[in-house]
A = this chain, B = another copy of it.
Amino acid sequence: MENGKTGDKRHLRSIMTRQKLLEAAKEIFLEEGYQAALISQMIKRANIGYGTAYVHFKGKEDLLIVLMENVMEQFYEIAETFFFPKSKDEAKHIINRQANAFLKMAEAERNMMQVFEQAIGISTIISDKWKAIRMKFIQRISQDVAYAQQNGLARTELNHELVARGWFFTNEMYLWEIVRNEHQSSVEEISQTITSVYVEGLYV
């Protein structure tokens, strides 16, 4: 007996069922997109009874949320970069790296992000999840701008909160462009260009 609990085949089976469904759901979401994906398809693909799905999840939305959590984590990690530049150039370098990492995520997780984008438009809960990520980034950037202002690196007449939002928004929209595969230029060129305008516009 490897754990305290006595034999627990039942619980194990339940976990397997849940897992099977999650995997099937991911496949269907990727194949069909959020809107067109049907719970009934997922159930069929997972080879479980119809009602079973509703034992494990409240519905389509609930399933996607679980699937997204993974991707979310990665975003949170990016948001937590250190930022204590000593010069405008150093700042530019750090900022460029972060913007780049952010956009690279879009490429790496493109397929799930496509589903996610659709879901944001439809499901309030999922939209809120994304808003939380956005807020985290904006707060972080806002703090960084304030730091740069306090250290005489950035123009102080600007509202750092507003600047932070504006900067994040540019990044976010490029992220969605990349997700949709609508971007012409390389991620490197994009992050360099937007970083350049931003840093030259904000820093002194």
Closest Cβ of chain B to A16, distance in Å, is: 34
Question: B158 contacts A197, CB within 8 Å?
Answer: yes
Question: Does A202 interact with chain B (Cβ within 8 Å)?
Answer: yes
| Number of interface residues, chain A, beta carbon within 8 A | 34
Question: A166 contacts B197, CB within 8 Å?
Answer: yes
Question: Does A151 interact with chain B (Cβ within 8 Å)?
Answer: no
Question: B158 contacts A196, CB within 8 Å?
Answer: yes
Question: B174 contacts A165, CB within 8 Å?
Answer: yes
Given known contacts A120-B121, A121-B118, A162-B185, A197 and B202 CB-to-CB distance under 8 angstroms = yes
Q: Which of A1-9, A49-57, A66-74, A186-194 contacts B (4 or more CB under 8 A)?
A: A186-194
Given known contacts A121-B121, A173-B172, A174-B169, A190 and B202 CB-to-CB distance under 8 angstroms = no
Q: Which of B167, B193, B198 contacts A162 (CB 8 A)?
A: B193
Question: B189 contacts A196, CB within 8 Å?
Answer: no
Contact with B along A94-105 (1 / 0, CB 8 A): 000000000000
Given known contacts A159-B185, A174-B165, A185-B162, A201 and B197 CB-to-CB distance under 8 angstroms = yes
Q: CA separation between A165 and B174, bound complex, in Å?
A: 8
Closest Cβ of chain B to A146, distance in Å, is: 14
Question: A197 contacts which chain B residues (CB < 8 A)?
Answer: 158, 163, 166-167, 197-198, 201-202
Question: Does A161 interact with chain B (Cβ within 8 Å)?
Answer: yes
Question: A63 contacts which chain B residues (CB < 8 A)?
Answer: none
Q: Which of B117, B159, B162, B194 contacts A166 (CB 8 A)?
A: B194
Query: Which residues 68-106 of A have a CB within 8 angstroms of B?
Result: none
CB-CB nearest 9 A-B residue pairs: A121-B121, A201-B201, A169-B173, A197-B201, A162-B193, A200-B201, A166-B194, A166-B170, A169-B170
